[in-house]
Amino acid sequence: MSPSGQDIWVYAEHQRGVLSSVTYELLGKARELAGALGGRAVAVLLGDGVHPLTATLGAADIVIAVEAPSLAEFTPQAHAAVLRALAQSRAPRLLLFGATSSGMDLASLLAGSLRIPLIVNCKTLTAEGGRVVATSQLCGGKLLCEADTGDGPAVVTVISGAFPAEQGVSDRTPQVEVVPLPVALDTVRMRVTRLLEPAPGDVDIAKAPVLVAVGRGIQRADNLPMAEELAAALGGTVCGSRPVVDQGWLPLSRQVGKSGMIVKPRLYFALGISGAPEHVEGMKDADLIIAVNSDAQAPIFSVADYGVVVDMFELLPALTQELGSRKTAAA
C-alpha cells in the first residue's frame, strides 16, 4: 500500500439508526491523535439512508459517507470491501474500530486482506513524537502489551469504555463527503436473511455487561426490588450467590459461582456477599468489582477493586438517586 498520510479514521458503528457509544469514544481519541500528528479525524459512515447520522459526528473534521442499498444490513464482507477500497486509495495513518462484534470482524478482515499491522483490545492509544503507541489488554487483564503501530496504515481495535465518549460529542456540523460505492459489491457472498430479537423471559447472565449480585445480606426477598432498581439504572441484570437461589428468591439461571454460572461482566456489583471461594470462582474475572458488605472482614474485599463497609440498605437508595440525577443532568 502507498505510504500513509496522518489521518485517523474511525469506523462509525451504528445499529438500528443509532450510533454506538464506542463511535464517540473513538472520535474523541481520533481528534487527539490527529491533532498531535498533523492529520484529520475522519469518521467513515457506511449504510443505507444513514445520512441523518452525520449530524452528530461533528467531532470529526470530515465524514466520509458511503450509502448503497447493498450496505443496508451490516455484513462483514460488504463493509470490509468498501473500507478496503477507501483505505487503499486514501492511506490513513490508522483505522480505529471498537472491539465489538462488527468491529472485530472488520478489523481482522482488513488487516488480513491489506496485509497491514493490526493491534486489538487497546486500552490506551498515545501519540509520542510522531509514533502512535497502543497498549492492549490480554489474558483477561492479567497482561498488558505496549506496541508501536508503525508508520501506517495500521488497524486498531479499542475496548468499549476505554476512552470518554464526551470527547467525541460535538454540536458542530461536520463536513460530509458523499462517496459513491468505491467497489462493486456483487462479489459479496453473504446476505442478512433476518434479525433476531433477544428472547423474552429469562436473561443469560453470562452475557450481561453489568451484574448486580445479591447475597445473604439482602436478607429478604422483598428487598430485591432495591437491587433491581440499581441494576436498571446501570443497564444491568440482577444475579445472586447460591444461598439466595436456594431460598427461591432468584431462579437457578441467576446463580453465580462454582455450581452456577461463571461470569466476566464489565461491572460486578456485589451486595451483601461474603465472598466464599465457591462464589468468587464464578466472578473473579469481572473487569471491575465493587463490593458492599457490612462486615469489614468479608473475604470479598480481597477480590474486589473497590469496597464499602456500610449497610447496603443505606447505600443503595443514595446510589440509585445519584445515577438518576446524573442522567437528568445529561439529558
Partner 1 sequence: MAMGETQDVARGGDAHAQLFFGSQRDWQQAFNPCIQCGMCSGACPLAFAMDYTPRRAIYMAREGLLDPILQSNTLWLCVSCYNCTARCPTGLKITDIFFPALRDAAINAGLKLPSEFKRALDNTYRYGNSLGEGPRKRIEWTKGAGVPVPIASQLRRPFDVLWLVECYPSYHPRNIVQSQAMARVLHALGVDFAILGPEERCVGDCERLSGEKGLFESLVEYNASLFDKYEYGQIITSDPHAYNSLTRVYPEFGKSYPVKHYVQFLAERLDALKPLLRHPVDARVTYHDNCCLGRMCGLYAAPRDLLRAIPGVSLVEMAFARENAMCCGGGGGGMWLDTVISQAAGERLSDRRVGHALATGAGILAVSCPFETSRFEDSLKSTGHESQMVVRDILELLDASMHGREGAAV
Partner 2 sequence: MNIAVLLNMVPDLVEELEIDASGTALDTQWMRYVLNESDEHALEQALLLKDRHGARVTVLALDYGEVEDTLFSALAKGADEAVKLAGLSEAPSKRAAAAAFKTALSGMACDLVLTGVYAIDDQDGHTAGLLAGLMDLPFVGVTRSVEPADGKVLVQKEYAGGLAAEIEVSLPAVIGVLSAPQPPRYVPVAKIRETRKTRKLTEQDITGAESLPGPTIRRMFKPEAAEHAQMLEGSPEDVAKQIVMILAERGLVP
Chain residues that interact with partner 1, rule: CB under 8 A:
216, 242-243, 246, 252, 255, 258-260, 276-277, 299
SS3 label, residue 125:
strand
Q: Looking at residues 172 to 191 of the shown chain, list those that interact with partner 2 (rule: CB under 8 A).
A: 188-191
Pick what 119 binds: partner 1, partner 2, none; C-beta below 5 to 8 Å, kind-dependent. Answer: partner 2
Q: Should residue 121 be labelled a site residue for partner 2 when binding is judged by CB under 8 A?
A: yes
Stretch that binds partner 2, among 27-35, 40-48, 85-93, 289-297 (CB under 8 A): 289-297
Q: Looking at residues 193 to 222 of the shown chain, list those that interact with partner 2 (rule: CB under 8 A).
A: 193-199, 204, 207, 209-210
User: For 158-170, what is the HEC assignment?
Assistant: ECCCCCCHHHHCC
Q: Should residue 55 be labelled a site residue for partner 2 when binding is judged by CB under 8 A?
A: no
Q: Residue 50, Cβ neighbours under 10 Å: how many?
A: 18
Three cell numbers written together for 249? 428468591
Give the nearer residue to partner 1 in terms of CB position, either 54 or 255: 255
For residue 319, report the phi and psi dihedrals to the nearest 5 degrees: -70, -45
Q: Looking at residues 71 to 90 of the shown chain, list those that interact with partner 2 (rule: CB under 8 A).
A: 73-77, 80
Three cell numbers written together for 323? 445515577
Q: Should residue 267 be labelled a site residue for partner 2 when binding is judged by CB under 8 A?
A: yes
Q: Residue 41, Cβ neighbours under 10 Å: how many?
A: 27
Q: Should residue 148 be labelled a site residue for partner 2 when binding is judged by CB under 8 A?
A: yes
Using CB under 8 A as the binding criterion, the count of chain residues that bind partner 2 stands at 98
- The nearest distance, CB 320 to partner 2, in angstroms, is 8
SS3 label, residue 81:
helix
Give the nearer residue to partner 2 in terms of CB position, either 51 or 84: 84
Angle at 135 between CA 130 and CA 136, to 5 degrees: 140
- Residue 147 is which amino acid? A
Give the nearer residue to partner 1 in terms of CB position, either 84 or 258: 258
Pick what 255 binds: partner 1, partner 2, none; C-beta below 5 to 8 Å, kind-dependent. Answer: partner 1
Report which of 266, 241, 236, 263 is spatially closest to residue 252, judged by C-alpha positions. 241
Pick what 225 binds: partner 1, partner 2, none; C-beta below 5 to 8 Å, kind-dependent. Answer: none
Pick what 37 binds: partner 2, partner 1, none; C-beta below 5 to 8 Å, kind-dependent. Answer: none
Q: Looking at residues 13 to 52 of the shown chain, list those that interact with partner 2 (rule: CB under 8 A).
A: 15, 21, 25
- The nearest distance, CB 315 to partner 1, in angstroms, is 23
DSSP conformation letters of 239-261 = EE-HHHHHTTSS-GGGBBSTTSB
User: Can you tell me which residue has the cell 434479525?
Assistant: 195
Three cell numbers written together for 124? 490506551
Give the nearer residue to partner 2 in terms of CB position, either 194 or 220: 194
* Residue 44, CA atoms < 13 Å, CB-side half-sphere: 23
Q: Should residue 255 be labelled a site residue for partner 2 when binding is judged by CB under 8 A?
A: no
Three cell numbers written together for 8? 485517523
